[in-house]
Structure 1
Amino acid sequence: MLDTEALPALPRARRAEALEAWLRGLLEDAAAGTPPPRSRRGGPPRTGTDGLALVAVGSLGRREPPPYGDLDLVLVHEGRPEIAALADAVWYPVWDAGLRLDHSVRTVAEAVTTASTDVKAGLGLLDARFVAGDADLAAALRTATLASWRQSAARLMPQLRDLRRGRARQVGELAFLLEPDLKEAYGGLREGQVLRAAAAAQLADEPSAEVGQAYAFLLDVRDELRRRTGRPADVLVRQEQRPVAAALGLADEDALLREVSLAGRRLAFLADETWRRVEAGLERRPRGRYRRVRREPLAEGVVRQGDEVVLARDARPAGDPGLVLRGAAAAARADLLLSPYTLKVLAVHSPPVPEPWPAEVRWNFLRLLASGRAAVPVLEQLDQEGLLVRLLPEWDRVRSLPQRHPWHRYTVDRHLVEAAAAAAELTRDVDRPDLLLVGALLHDIGKGWPGDHSVVGAPVAGRVAARMGFAPADVATLTAVVRHHLLLPDIAVRRDIDDPATVERVAATLGHDPALLQLLHAVAQADGAATSTSAWSPWKAHLVAALVARVQARIGGSAAPDTEPVLHPGDPAPGVEADGAVTVTVEDVADGQQVTFRAPDRPGLFSCLAGVLALNQLDVRAAKVNTDGSRATAVFAVRPRFGRPPVPAILADAVRAALEGTLPLSARLRQREADYRQDDGRAAPPRISWHNGEVTGDATGIVEVRAGDRAGLLYRLTAALAAEGLDVTSARVETLGADAADHFYVTDASGTPIDGEQRARVEAALAAAARGAVPDPVPGGADTPG
């Protein structure tokens, strides 16, 4: 007789053994006590368990029956007429014992038919395991249902995917729930079963040992939860978290919730990866001609292959500490993911990043963050492979750290990533988007330490910023951003913002620094958006904006962006400074190269130079141009997109050919775009503004363009200005994160001021250029044959 009261206290393996032994006896007793009917064909009737098998599916089939769980049983037979009586003789004792039972009676053929049409039944039969009776019949059932599952995978796996995504929308994601459903939430126990189902369909690899560990931990939590509650509970409610944590040897309920979150994130991450593999595998299954997957270069050392980013054939991960972030930034900018194999190679072979970070590493980290929503899954990839903690050791203190306030939708680490993604939409509203992105990512980093997270987090953020290689002034700014990131929301909702004392208090706290005020406003918006609509309502947003406006008026002035890097003309090559000559010098700098052009001044020259650089796959980070009489000097800070440094002679020849009209830049750049798909960037429109009150010298207007950076953007913008009859007399070009902030000092050919009608035309042309349009060459310009 089964001792049902002692059953929940047993370990899982012994609980399964006890249930199986009892069920084995039930089938033997049923077979012995049920008289076989007279054979109508004259042959001897089947007796005992010949042609009869009791098979466990579900949790018992997986040998993981939970306390107070259901028994899922299938009685398989080969057409025995007395099967109904046999089944009753097995099922009734189960019910009499007070156990819940999900049962069915089928032949092998009936089971196969059900498995091929019902995704839930098919998923359950994959766990079919022999308990008692005819072992050969049970083996035949398993073999047939497994073959049926593989044959029906193209139809059943999408159904299973939709079921899991539907449950995720209803229940949520296990990693971010304060009272998680251990079974049905996305990343819960169901995901472990889905991973095995995908492997059974031969569409994915067998689950790894780490999957088994995460899955086993969730089973332990559920078992202890059910022992505590004495019922079939799967939701880890708040009042049960502390006793469950104690039973499992964890410090407290937060430690338990963090471990649950880590396990759930791992299962969800691998499930997402598996679904991508499954969908790709199902797309390849129809017969057809083999098509070679195109490999498209994205950045030095990484290429796009299909819908993934993989290492280039000549990549050397062990000798390239910047490859991790270069590949991650390229993936996010292309709205793709790194391939799992690439991730593992990088995790094994990538060397530590030098400290402070080289400028290129910091630059790619900013480009990754500036990719917005596309950066979130890429950062999760880096986190799951342990690469993010290598870059930011402080991150380990906030990984999957729960936030008990009901306003918060995410754990601390995911909240920080979401805040950075939200900040990426605000980079055009600040003068230092790089500081905004890093400040948003680190604003709550102090929650990993005891004490007021704003106070303890400020020095932590300062150490991180210094390690990243920011200048001391920028480190101080980021430290202040983290220290005061709650200042504006707190004051706006708790004080009278029309009181001059309130305004003065905020201004004094910020040291009357307009740049810090600007950054704190953007971080507050990003923080609120990453928390919840309750935390950042339209009313609260309005109050904060009103407070910022009052403080800005009190402080006065405006924040001026730093110019980085500092550009200075290189030394000219000796003996080549003739009036009509084009000279080029290239100087290695900390983060790429600096290219200095000296050429005869003419309309469209700056656009020509920018086009030549784009054609040679050189990304412009900063630029300035000045004229002196009939000569112009233009200095560009560039970084090769694919690691090939610029060659002065090649650049000089290209500029001369473009000026002579033998190199059609527009056509060549359009062909380049056809060969290499461009980064589309974010869909936000460019921001164009005029600053004519600051005009000095020969310029008749200053136009500022803020737009998502992309290859050839500077050429398009300056070509658009030239097409509208404006000449660039001086320029200041900056690229911070994924945004370009370009200031052009322009003059009309006639020397007259730029009126409102011409401004409207210029703005339309610049907006089109920022979206990728290449203006036709202007008459007499650099693209015009002479």
Structure 2
Amino acid sequence: MAGGAGARDAAFPAGADEEAAWLLRVRETLAETDAALAARFDSGEPVERLVAARARSIDGLIREAWSRCIPADAQLALFAVGGYGRGELFPHSDIDLLVLAAEPEQHARREALACLFALLWDMGLQASHAVRSPEQCTQAASDPTVLTALLEARPLVADIADRGALEASIAPQKVWPARDYFLAKADEQRQRHARFGDTSDNLEPNLKDGPGGLRDLHTLGWMALRSFGVRERDALVGLGHLGADEAAALDREHEALGRLRFGLHLVAGRHEERLRFDYQKALAAHLGYADDARNLGVEQMMQGFYRSAAIVRRINDRLLQRFEEHFDGTAVPEPLDARFELRRGYLAARDPQWPHGDVAQVFELFATWASRPDARGLHSQTARALAEALAIVPAYAVAEPALRDRFMALLRGERPVPTLERMARLGVLGRWIPAFAQVSGRMQFDLFHVYTVDQHTLAVLRNLASFGDASTDDRFSKAHQVWPTLRKPELLLLAGLFHDIAKGRGGDHSEVGAEDAQAFCAAHALSASDAALVTWLVRRHLLMSITAQKQDISDPAVIHRFASEVADRERLDYLYLLTCADIAGTSPKLWNAWKDQLLADLRASTRLALRQGLEHPVDAIEHIAETRAAVRGLLSARGIGEGEADALFLRFPEHGFLRARPDQIAWQAQALRSAAPGEVVVAVRSLDAGDHALEVFVHSPDRDGLFAAIVISLDRLGLEIQQARALDGPGETIFDSFQVLPGDTRQPPSTADIERRLAGALSGPLERIRPARRTQPRHLRHFRIVPRIQFDEGPDGGETVLSLVCTDRPGLLADIAHVLRARRLRVQDARIATFGERAEDVFRLTESDNSALDAGSRAALRDALLSRIDGEANR
């Protein structure tokens, strides 16, 4: 076996000075090498050469350390394993080593090996190591992860016998036959993908381990090595398992992903595989991406990553199928019709020359697929044929009318949303609708949009499809009732497909998208009324969301304005469903029971306004009378007679019957039923068990700073306020309502605990209730929004409307309320809206004497708010 000079105490015969000088030279060499590689990277040299060059430079240093520590007669061999064994070392990659030796030799050379590993760390190489005999390698390789690392073994100090012994120890006859290894790695990949939500389209994706990342490419290589004994993709092409075009695509994306990873290591200055917000902008600048009029440089970089990951996943799926067929055979085809069949459950074209340049056959493929929900997927040969045929798929604008009819038939046929998803994933939809290709992989650098535009669009379509499913989704209280009333569901799907299609093209994406939708509808021969509906939905797809979340929908004037814009009940129902699907498809955390109820209330109020006629708006007196009657009915069902109900009504503010729903007032009346005058009453009820949404009602004698005390107390209880409504009641009392969500849904406080703790806090001195101090979350530091404060007159001139836009953070509302309390201002109403990192809050304020704020008070409040917001955000 190969060996070296002596043990650690003899490695530096001249003593400590020589050791220090040698280590200094090694560290300088490492630094110079890394600096030179970074410069070569910046000049555009392929990453494949750079990681190989770094591995070679480390090889030499490790061999030098070996020769200093390991005696020449030692029966030890040294191998690089894992990624280092593959000959790839990124700037901060792990250095994995295997020392191969019989067990007696391991014990005999323990001190020499300890000298080696200590020296490597002193050199600045964070190497991990294993010391095993061939028999121990066999045992350890029962773990497929260990076997995978050993498959990559590359000799550093070893002879032919050493290499043969290691290869024999992990031979398929001893451990993990090829088929078993393939199945284990395929299952490992599925589990790894599941940890990332089975999507690469995350805000902070993992370049290495995420779906479509470098690990997927490595996995294909390991499978090929174990199954066919080949390492290079060209060899797979020669064996017929990989097409030349597929190999070229994988080579291209491997370089693109490798370039991102190399740059990320440089920017982070450490081993980092996750494209975190901390590094995205710096990495984009380092790679030469620049902002333009339409897209930020970071968004351009991220779009490139998402597209690369999508291609890797697409080809990865095909290869896994081919490996499976290699081991298990192609099985007997099951004919479906003259053109298609099932092979091992995968849909395949029967003709090897399919589709013969005929785009109609491409659309026929998707129609057949839609009719067979039992199909496991698309057969790899047909998937490759489809990829090669993409160039013949025309844009709809230049397609023949017959092809447009076929596309609309897919939209009106069986399972249209899965069909659109498949067409998008396989590249057909982007060819047919070029605007969709432009938003493929397009991200927006904020925390509100957690998906790329194309993935958000598909999520919206999935939500729409769920409204028509037999099994209802508990997240949506009314959507499943509305869906069956739609005249043409495909029109709603078109609106969902186009609603964000103009993102990143400059201008108002709703207006530009409406123009795209209009052109599409005209080309596909939709009637004028159908085209008008789709176009209007795209243009106004944000109308209902903005109205519900930013305006007071208990105000009849707000309802009248909204109803006038919507104009008819058909538009209202289509817009309602699109809004529900859009909000729920933007972020998993954005949809909740409060928003569900809010939109349902807006729809119900608007339907009433439309039914009565826009020329006859509902006035406040009529609305209050209707609400009172409805509440009496609810209380009667709960054993509260009309006389007692009327007595309870005397304790309520009159305008409460204008702003609250009958069920809310009935619930509040029950809470007041046993309360004595002057008593603090706190009631909490669940809005939806699924997302822990709660409604908190507080009735109390009014005191200065009471609203702030409630808000701060809720914040200290870990509850995030979604909406706040403050009403003054008879006899100097308050009727405040809050819609809240627990910040931590794993251990949310119970309703009883909230009632007890909040009532206790409000029963004592309010000045002792102060905001909690919290550290700003890491991700918010990269999305700083310059605070904007605006003051307007209230509708009747007796109030001042404060509009605040700033970066959201934990405790923000509590801090704002604390400022308002310090200024002795009264909160009459509050609308709390959060969009990712952006808080947009509106407060209706008065002075302590219920008058509007004068110019001096406004200026002082602005300064106090800016000081508090900026001071806490920068802490």
Give TM-score scaled by structure 1 length: 0.62
Looking at structure 2, the residues matched to 369 and 266 of structure 1 have their Cα atoms a distance apart, in angstroms, of 27
1:342 aligned residue: 382
Q: Does 1:555 align with 2:610?
A: yes
Given that 1:16 and 1:60 are in contact with CA atoms closer than 8 Å, whether structure 2 keeps it comes out as yes
Given that 1:514 and 1:557 are in contact with CA atoms closer than 8 Å, whether structure 2 keeps it comes out as no
Helix, strand or coil for the counterpart of 1:458?
helix
Q: How many residues align?
A: 530
Looking at structure 2, the residues matched to 143 and 219 of structure 1 have their Cα atoms a distance apart, in angstroms, of 32
Q: In the alignment, which of 144, 165, 170 is matched to residue 119 of structure 1?
A: 144
2:222 aligned residue: 197
1:99 positional shift = 1.5
1:491-522 CA deviation, whole Å, 9 max, x = no partner? 12222334343233223323x24332222122
Aligned pairs for 1:10-409 (under 5 A) are 10=37, 11-30=50-69, 33-35=71-73, 52-77=76-101, 81=105, 83-84=109-110, 87-88=113-114, 90-115=116-141, 117-135=142-160, 137-138=162-163, 141-142=166-167, 145=170, 147=172, 151-172=176-197, 175-202=200-227, 205=241, 208-251=247-290, 252-275=297-320, 284=328, 292-297=332-337, 301-313=339-351, 317-318=355-356, 320-335=358-373, 336=375, 337-349=377-389, 351-353=392-394, 354-356=399-401, 358=403, 360-367=405-412, 370-372=415-417, 374-375=418-419, 378-383=422-427, 387-409=428-450
Looking at structure 2, the residues matched to 358 and 262 of structure 1 have their Cα atoms a distance apart, in angstroms, of 27
Looking at structure 2, the residues matched to 338 and 149 of structure 1 have their Cα atoms a distance apart, in angstroms, of 35
Given that 1:338 and 1:378 are in contact with CA atoms closer than 8 Å, whether structure 2 keeps it comes out as no
Helix, strand or coil for the counterpart of 1:182?
coil
Question: Structure 1: which 5+ runs fail to align?
Answer: 37-50, 559-786
Letter in 1 for 2:569: P
Question: Higher relative contact order at CA 8 Å, sep ≥6: structure 1 or structure 2?
Answer: 1
Aligned pairs for 1:724-743 (under 5 A) are none
1:122 positional shift = 0.7
Aligned pairs for 1:598-617 (under 5 A) are none
1:398 positional shift = 0.3
- Quickly say closer, same or farther: Cα 1:307–1:98, change in 2 above 3 A: same
Aligned residues: percent identity?
27
Aligned pairs for 1:386-785 (under 5 A) are 387-427=428-468, 428-510=484-566, 512-556=567-611
1:472 positional shift = 3.7
Looking at structure 1, the residues matched to 354 and 274 of structure 2 have their Cα atoms a distance apart, in angstroms, of 47
Given that 1:332 and 1:378 are in contact with CA atoms closer than 8 Å, whether structure 2 keeps it comes out as no
Looking at structure 1, the residues matched to 174 and 459 of structure 2 have their Cα atoms a distance apart, in angstroms, of 39
Computed over aligned residues only, the root mean square deviation of the Cα atoms, in angstroms, reads 3.2
Looking at structure 2, the residues matched to 151 and 185 of structure 1 have their Cα atoms a distance apart, in angstroms, of 25
2:10 aligned residue: none
Letter in 2 for 1:395: F
- Quickly say closer, same or farther: Cα 1:315–1:169, change in 2 above 3 A: closer
Helix, strand or coil for the counterpart of 1:74?
strand
Looking at structure 1, the residues matched to 353 and 319 of structure 2 have their Cα atoms a distance apart, in angstroms, of 26
- Quickly say closer, same or farther: Cα 1:23–1:467, change in 2 above 3 A: farther
- Quickly say closer, same or farther: Cα 1:304–1:533, change in 2 above 3 A: same
Looking at structure 2, the residues matched to 162 and 151 of structure 1 have their Cα atoms a distance apart, in angstroms, of 14
Deviates more, 1:519-528 or 1:548-557: 548-557
- Quickly say closer, same or farther: Cα 1:13–1:174, change in 2 above 3 A: farther
- Quickly say closer, same or farther: Cα 1:555–1:331, change in 2 above 3 A: same
1:267 positional shift = 2.9
Letter in 2 for 1:534: K
Helix, strand or coil for the counterpart of 1:4?
helix
Looking at structure 1, the residues matched to 254 and 146 of structure 2 have their Cα atoms a distance apart, in angstroms, of 22
- Quickly say closer, same or farther: Cα 1:241–1:187, change in 2 above 3 A: same
- Quickly say closer, same or farther: Cα 1:149–1:415, change in 2 above 3 A: farther
Looking at structure 1, the residues matched to 504 and 356 of structure 2 have their Cα atoms a distance apart, in angstroms, of 32
Looking at structure 1, the residues matched to 352 and 73 of structure 2 have their Cα atoms a distance apart, in angstroms, of 75
Letter in 2 for 1:64: E
1:139-172 CA deviation, whole Å, 9 max, x = no partner? 5534653645984344444444444444444444
1:580 aligned residue: none
Given that 2:178 and 2:227 are in contact with CA atoms closer than 8 Å, whether structure 1 keeps it comes out as no
Looking at structure 2, the residues matched to 13 and 154 of structure 1 have their Cα atoms a distance apart, in angstroms, of 31
Letter in 2 for 1:179: E
1:622 aligned residue: none
Looking at structure 2, the residues matched to 458 and 291 of structure 1 have their Cα atoms a distance apart, in angstroms, of 49
Given that 2:179 and 2:227 are in contact with CA atoms closer than 8 Å, whether structure 1 keeps it comes out as no
Given that 1:325 and 1:368 are in contact with CA atoms closer than 8 Å, whether structure 2 keeps it comes out as no
Letter in 2 for 1:502: V
Looking at structure 1, the residues matched to 313 and 173 of structure 2 have their Cα atoms a distance apart, in angstroms, of 27
Give TM-score scaled by structure 2 length: 0.56
Letter in 2 for 1:103: H
Question: Structure 2: which 5+ runs fail to align?
Answer: 1-24, 38-49, 229-235, 291-296, 469-483, 614-875
1:393 positional shift = 0.8
1:177 positional shift = 1.7
Helix, strand or coil for the counterpart of 1:5?
helix
1:400 positional shift = 0.6
Looking at structure 2, the residues matched to 199 and 376 of structure 1 have their Cα atoms a distance apart, in angstroms, of 33
Given that 2:548 and 2:599 are in contact with CA atoms closer than 8 Å, whether structure 1 keeps it comes out as yes
1:433 positional shift = 0.8
Given that 1:126 and 1:197 are in contact with CA atoms closer than 8 Å, whether structure 2 keeps it comes out as yes
Given that 2:331 and 2:343 are in contact with CA atoms closer than 8 Å, whether structure 1 keeps it comes out as no
1:329 positional shift = 3.1
1:130 positional shift = 2.3
Looking at structure 2, the residues matched to 403 and 333 of structure 1 have their Cα atoms a distance apart, in angstroms, of 36
Letter in 2 for 1:454: S
Looking at structure 1, the residues matched to 272 and 136 of structure 2 have their Cα atoms a distance apart, in angstroms, of 33
Looking at structure 1, the residues matched to 354 and 326 of structure 2 have their Cα atoms a distance apart, in angstroms, of 29
Given that 1:241 and 1:253 are in contact with CA atoms closer than 8 Å, whether structure 2 keeps it comes out as yes
Looking at structure 1, the residues matched to 333 and 283 of structure 2 have their Cα atoms a distance apart, in angstroms, of 51
1:415 positional shift = 1.0
1:425-473 CA deviation, whole Å, 9 max, x = no partner? 3353411111111111111112131122212211122223333443343
- Quickly say closer, same or farther: Cα 1:132–1:196, change in 2 above 3 A: same
- Quickly say closer, same or farther: Cα 1:5–1:491, change in 2 above 3 A: same
1:35 positional shift = 4.9
- Quickly say closer, same or farther: Cα 1:356–1:260, change in 2 above 3 A: same
Looking at structure 2, the residues matched to 529 and 506 of structure 1 have their Cα atoms a distance apart, in angstroms, of 22
1:717-758 CA deviation, whole Å, 9 max, x = no partner? xxxxxxxxxxxxxxxxxxxxxxxxxxxxxxxxxxxxxxxxxx
1:382 positional shift = 1.7
Looking at structure 1, the residues matched to 249 and 300 of structure 2 have their Cα atoms a distance apart, in angstroms, of 19
Letter in 1 for 2:457: L
Given that 2:138 and 2:175 are in contact with CA atoms closer than 8 Å, whether structure 1 keeps it comes out as no
Given that 2:559 and 2:605 are in contact with CA atoms closer than 8 Å, whether structure 1 keeps it comes out as yes
Looking at structure 2, the residues matched to 85 and 418 of structure 1 have their Cα atoms a distance apart, in angstroms, of 60
1:79 positional shift = 7.3
Looking at structure 1, the residues matched to 265 and 354 of structure 2 have their Cα atoms a distance apart, in angstroms, of 51
Given that 2:412 and 2:490 are in contact with CA atoms closer than 8 Å, whether structure 1 keeps it comes out as no
